Amino acid sequence: MTRKKSATPAATESNAKSEPVLSATNIVKELGRGAGTVMALKGVDLQLVPGELTLLMGPSGSGKTTLLSILGCIMTPTSGELTVAGTKTAGLSPDELAVLRRDHIGFIFQSYNLFPTLSALENVRIALDVRGQKGYEAARRCEEVLREVGLGHRLRNFPGNLSGGEQQRVAVARAIVSSPSIVLADEPTAALDGENGNAVMELLARIAHEQGRSVLAVTHDPRTLPYADRVVRIEDGLIVGEERRPEGLDAPEITDLTKRRKAHA
Amino acid sequence: MIFTLAFRNLFHDRIRLAVTLVGILFSIVLVAVQLGLYLGASRMITANIDHADADLWIMPFGAKSFEDGGLLMGTRERHQALATPGVAQVTPLVVRFTEWRKPEGGSTRVVVVGTDAEEGAVKPLSLKTGTWEDIKAPDAIAVDETYLKDLGVDGIGDTAQIGPSRVKVGALTSGVRSFTQSPYVYTPLSRARSLVGAEGSDLATFHLVKVYPGQDVEQVRTSLLNRLEGAEVLTTEEFHQRSLRQWLFRTGAGVALIGGALLGILVGTVIVAQTLYSSTKDHINEFATLRALGSSSGYIHKVILTQAGLSAVIGYVLGMLLALLIVLGSQSTPLPIVMTPQLAAGLFTVTVFMCAISAVSAIVKVTKIDPATVFSR
């Protein structure tokens, strides 16, 4: 498994020094009430910078998806501070959080979450439509993005007529069509075979490196490691480790680093 | 995209769409028929009043309706009215329930309307066969063709008996139905008096008053009331309303018709609400995805309201087609259903309102969406 050279290490290095576009400090999340309260997150610190593909890895129940929901302004933390594109989220109403999501965050879901009654093009257009962008320009932009993800020939197809990989690429197109600074992906390869999984990860890496977006993918799929600039480990609601791909190292060595860390632990 | 998404959501499940449309359709038909009957009954009840050439009606105190005028008034009231300043004309009118004896035996109740049409009183409505001159011929009367069978006659020239007198069908009206189901029998005033047992008298059920042009009708009415004892003076509109109240509300008929219409609206609302709610529930993950994508609550509400609006338009068109067929089929019956452009427009408004109200439960459901569910599918 060799990482394709679409990423530019120089860009990666400079991005690592960029100002964070998302910053989470001491995030705590309690789920449930009373005796049944569960501490899903126990004080998480995380920063995302432009031009970087970050993987958030951890076992089931470690708090990955809860953290993703909080970073995506879908869930509010019990305590801690979250800043997205310079805006502190504390005290914002659900509608204000929706505006923040709309303006700065693109989502990719494990089950794609496409609208079965809309074509590939319409599924992407709806992401612009909720932003009030309509008409010819919006349609042209959606076609352009679908072509970018390799689906120029599938514009009018409905999700039911697309393969899993194609559906996830539609979801990627939907996530990036509004040019968000942050793309959050929940298990983007979990429902895909190896070839399609690699294609989607390749796409996410390109989005991060070529378009300068900050991409965070929650995953426990080791196939995704070769594409990562950074791997963040979460266990039992805490960040327990973080590795960054050193300049010049190829992806397999990240995997090795990970293994070494595990062995060391 | 809102319309596209609403349209596709609606047509995605054809069976549910069919249930929704059938609900709206039955609701519209029920409301259309009930209100159409109400309108038809209202027209029947007030047709003679509305067609009379009168500004004011003088009637015995407590007269309930056109058919139920109470005791006959003498000539005193007429002369007092004629002497009132501003009064141009006072025309007597006789209206009385009486017995019609069929030529082949048996009898039925009719309402004799005695009028001198030339003097501006109640004219036989919609004369289809024959003229007023034919009705003035000896023994002649005019009846509506709808009731020929009930009256035991076949048409022009046939004879029957009212009280002790022989009558001959001299003219036929068309579409002049009676809400009481006792057919109107139009005849000249003097013959009417003899048919109701007041032969040779000047008695009348009503005196129809025309005021001089430019005269204040209210002022004339006040003057008339000051002169007449034991009589009431109503404007045509007041008498119209009193007759409606008598037959539609004191008898409970109108309440039943309006109640039926309200029931139709209620049933339609419940069916549409149920189907919209279940549709929203089925598409809840898509709405959650929209929310996660950053759509406003208003955007999602618009999708649901557009679905409701589309259901309303399609259901209305289908419902109106069926309702119009029923209206057409009722035209030859004694109680025809009336459909007017105003009623059709009103029904459309009611349908849209009904579907919008139905969308409330779905909107409440969607308002409670937790966008975090997008990660748990």
CATH number at residue A177: 3.40.50.300
Domain extent at residue A190: 9-118+163-264
Report residue B322's pLDDT band, with 50, 70 and 90 as the boundaries: very high
C-alpha distance from B373 to closest chain A C-alpha (Å): 10
Cβ-proximal residues to B304 (8 Å cutoff; 6+ apart), any chain: B6, B276, B280, B359, B362, B363, B366
CA angle (B202, B207, B213) in 5-degree steps: 130
Chain A environment of B5 (Cβ under 8 Å):
115, 117-118, 126
Structure tokens at A142: 């959606």
C-alpha distance from B10 to closest chain A C-alpha (Å): 10
Cβ-proximal residues to A136 (8 Å cutoff; 6+ apart), any chain: none
Pairwise CA distance, residues B359 & B305, whole Å: 6
- B177 touching A (Cβ < 8 Å): no
Pairwise CA distance, residues B126 & B144, whole Å: 9
Chain A environment of B294 (Cβ under 8 Å):
98-103, 105, 130-131
Contact B372 A75 (CB under 8 A): yes
Q: Give tens-digit pLDDT for B40-92.
A: 888 888 888 888 888 999 988 888 888 877 667 777 888 888 888 899 988 88
pLDDT at A41 over 80: yes
Q: Pick B372's closest partner by Cβ from A74, A105, A116.
A: A74
pLDDT at A121 over 90: yes
Cβ-proximal residues to A132 (8 Å cutoff; 6+ apart), any chain: none
Q: Shortest CA distance to A197 belongs to which of A163, A165, A230? A: A165
Quick one: what percent of chain B has pLDDT higher than 90?
17
- Residue of higher predicted confidence among B344 and A257: B344
- pLDDT value of residue A10: 40
Asked if B41 contacts B253 with a C-beta cutoff of 8 angstroms, the reply is: yes
Greatest mean pLDDT range, A15-24, A112-121, B355-364: A112-121
Asked if A205 contacts A225 with a C-beta cutoff of 8 angstroms, the reply is: no
What is the biggest distance separating any 2 CA atoms in chain A, rounded to whole angstroms?
Answer: 57
> Which residues 39-68 on chain A approach chain B with CB closer than 8 angstroms?
65, 68
Structure tokens at B7: 């349209």
pLDDT at A95 over 90: no
B90 residue type, one letter: V
pLDDT at B376 over 80: no
pLDDT at A215 over 90: yes
- pLDDT value of residue B118: 65
Contact A105 B285 (CB under 8 A): no
Residue A179: left if φ>0, alpha if ψ -120 to 50, beta else—which one? left
How many separate domains does chain A show?
Answer: 1
- Residue of higher predicted confidence among B236 and B364: B236
- B297 touching A (Cβ < 8 Å): yes
Rg over CA atoms, chain A: 18
Mean pLDDT of B214-224: 90
- Mutation target among B17, B289, B303 for the A interface, most CBs of A within 10 A: B289
Contact A113 B286 (CB under 8 A): yes
pLDDT at B321 over 90: yes
**Residue owning tokens 């190829």:** A250
Cβ neighbourhood burial of B119 (10 Å; 0-12, 13-18, 19+): middle
- pLDDT value of residue A13: 46
Could you tell me where the beta strands, DSSP code E, fall in B204-274? 206-211, 231-235
Ordered by start, the domain boundaries in chain B are: 2-44+252-375, 62-229
From A9-18, A159-168, A245-254, B69-78, the region with the lowest mean pLDDT: A9-18
Q: What is the mean pLDDT of chain B?
A: 85
- Residue of higher predicted confidence among A255 and B181: B181
Report residue A80's pLDDT band, with 50, 70 and 90 as the boundaries: very high
Pairwise CA distance, residues B75 & B83, whole Å: 12
C-alpha distance from A65 to closest chain B C-alpha (Å): 7
Pairwise CA distance, residues A74 & B29, whole Å: 46
Mean pLDDT of A172-196: 86
> Which residues 107-136 on chain A approach chain B with CB closer than 8 angstroms?
107, 109-111, 113, 115-118, 122, 125-127, 129-131, 134
pLDDT at A227 over 80: yes
Determine, yes or no, domain membership for A133: no
Please state the φ and ψ torsions of residue B369, each to the nearest 5 degrees.
-60, 135
Determine, yes or no, domain membership for A123: no
Contact A116 B293 (CB under 8 A): no
Query: What is the ipTM metric for this complex?
Result: 0.79
Q: What is the mean pLDDT of chain A?
A: 83
Q: Pick A127's closest partner by Cβ from B8, B9, B293.
A: B293
**Residue owning tokens 């057409």:** B328
Determine, yes or no, domain membership for A15: yes
